[in-house]
């Protein structure tokens, strides 16, 4: 499976990410016949809202809330949390500095040697 494919939630066969319906079991995968609008479905007994970010932050005003079994706007709270955490880590200043030091170790070593040479030269004057 590559980045352009995914698995069908019903028959678990590989399907194109843009597919509006599953070519194998004909399950509807996108809403309104548009390849850009994913249609999320609850797989078990639970409602989608139970694990949705917009239910957790009380910003959803869809009439089917909190009993949605299908929803186009559903966003998994755990995935959002993970994305947020990755974004935070990527943006953290200390991380940037650490990465820069790791990438430029030889340059820093050279600068340190130059500094030591400079100090020795000044002391001998
Ligand atoms: S966006 Fe959909 S899944 Fe999320 S709380 Fe609203 S109705 Fe429920
Ligand atoms: Zn299918």
Count of structural domains within the chain:
1
Q: Does 105 fall in a domain?
A: yes
Q: Whose Cα sits closest to atom 8 in ligand 1?
A: 49
Q: How far apart are CA 64 and CA 60, in angstroms?
A: 10
**Among 99, 98, 120, 101, which residue's Cα sits nearest to residue 109?**
101
> Considering the domain boundaries, does residue 111 fall inside one?
yes
User: Which ligand sits nearest to residue 56's alpha carbon?
Assistant: 1
Is 0.75 topped by the overall pTM?
A: no
Domain with 101, as residue range(s), is 93-125
Please give the structure tokens belonging to residue 101: 């030091």
Instruction: Grade residue 1 by pLDDT with cuts at 50, 70 and 90.
Output: low
> For residue 16, is it within any domain?
no
Q: Which two tokens mark 120?
A: 């020795």
**Would residue 80 count as lying in a domain?**
no
Enclosing H/E stretch for 118: helix 105-124
CA of 41 to the centre of ligand 2 (A): 13
Cα 69 to ligand 2 centre (Å): 18
With respect to residue 101, please indicate whether it lies within any of the assigned structural domains.
yes
Q: Tens digit of pLDDT for each residue in 74-114?
A: 999 988 888 888 888 877 887 888 889 999 999 999 999 99
């Amino acid at each position: 499976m590559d980045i352009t494919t995914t698995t069908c939630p019903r028959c678990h066969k590989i399907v194109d990410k843009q597919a509006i319906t599953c070519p194998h079991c004909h399950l509807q995968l996108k809403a309104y016949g548009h390849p850009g609008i994913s249609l999320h479905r609850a797989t078990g007994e639970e409602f989608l809202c139970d694990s949705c970010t917009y239910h957790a932050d009380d910003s959803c005003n869809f009439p089917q809330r909190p009993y949605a079994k299908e929803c186009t706007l559903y966003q998994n709270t755990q995935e959002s949390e993970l994305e947020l955490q990755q974004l935070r880590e990527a943006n953290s200043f200390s991380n940037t500095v650490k990465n820069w030091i790791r990438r430029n170790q030889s340059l820093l070593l050279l600068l340190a040697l130059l500094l030591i040479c400079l100090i020795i030269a000044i002391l001998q004057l």
